[in-house]
Structure 1
């Protein structure tokens, strides 16, 4: 089992991927930046880190392996535990464990796992297709320094004729500025006039339409009886507690009915990329609400439930 492949897949979608018994791989978003010396532009990215203290099984990795390999959840859990045991034995022997596209793990003298992240892949999907690039330096000519250097060698004497030319240039420049401002103000006035005209015309059209509606008389000879509709509020939010995924849609419908009979706001959220119909206990706006409900469901109803973070269309 290529454990690093599954971890790498999940890092694109989640900020934390826990490997039970080993630790958790975490991602932290970093903004775009420019290197001041090399003038290299770097796009936004996710920076990887590792926390050995987070070892409890949250079900994310095991459920993903179970879906991909089409095996039971318990079998996936056993396979993870077996590979973690092998990784730890190699670490104790002083070997370096390399997870492709993720990083390297090694044991220090204190018996703690040290993580050296890989920089080959950017797990931030918003930056897909972006790469770093280097911009060449911009050399600006400092005319003032050049003039001072020339004057030191050969001072420049301005005659009255040249000074008058300079004055003419100043006046010409001032005239250009005035004309530019006049044109800008004139264009602004014109645009504002058009906008006011359009608004007035729209208001007049609305008044005429209101007058026609008020003059019209509607007679309904056989009015229909009043109907009372009870509409269920549509669930929103990107945090979903998954109850299961089914290849046969009829089975997913049965699961939804079963959960609703038990008081849950269950529903189907579509077909995942493996062709399975996903059923959730409910959807939540915030991660805190979803985590609290997940804790209750695992405690009282289904210990294999897990949290899916997904934006639905």
Structure 2
């Protein structure tokens, strides 16, 4: 671990002292041009050893203490143990290798010498730079070089064309994705507008409406509807011929004949009893009192709207679905300046009541509900 810290300090410092052992000193070496190998070696640092630099300058110990989160005393003990290990190995094997830095050994005179081992470039400005070959250019190789240069240019041109084609494909794909995203965003924003509903874009609804229109248009071009007066005159002309006296009362036809209280007579064949007439009147009253399913004029009430439709047929289908859920579904005809038929689930006298009730209806119809003051 101590050797690792020593090596890291040599990148940033010119001198690293190992207390009680000696100091490692670095010096700058400029770039070297080899005249035989024709190579250029980048600038570097070379390391030398001075066994007289044994005083503690605090650099190594403080670095070990800081990076290992220990005290200075503990770091000093680690350095002392490292020095003892080095001296023991030198006495036993006469050599000690400091990883990636160099080799210590005793010479014939029993003096400690250091041999620098070049591994990584310790100079930060040149760290990672390789050795460059600089082979001289010969005149007889000019034709070969021109051929190689021409081939290299052709290869670069082919690579450039491939890159352009690839870039064009990427551009087309990106443009298609952008257009699709914008279209989807436009449809989404259109669907959340308060005056529109995407159900008006449903093609099946268009076909259904076309079928309904075709049923209405099945009459011939020369067809003339029969009025109510003409229909009653036809009834008066037919019924007396069967021996029945008729009178007109409002929109209902009263029939009198020689019938008994039981109802049907053998000769007349048709009877309308007082009880049946009462049922007809009662049915008429029920029809007149039925709730209005279509609102065609301003009421001043506040309606909770589920959606808007461009066709009345689609709005009626949505209204029936609302009524099937047990709610008071109604169709509001288009207001001035609008072409949408709106479908409501309930209506209230004030806006506060409508806003309060809307939270309950959202459980069934979602968050797209809104309040309209008609």
What band does the TM-score fall into relative to the shorter chain? Answer: 0.3 to 0.5
TM-score where L is the length of structure 2: 0.36
Structure 1 length as normaliser, TM-score? Answer: 0.43
Q: Which has the higher contact order (CA 8 A, sep 6+)?
A: 1
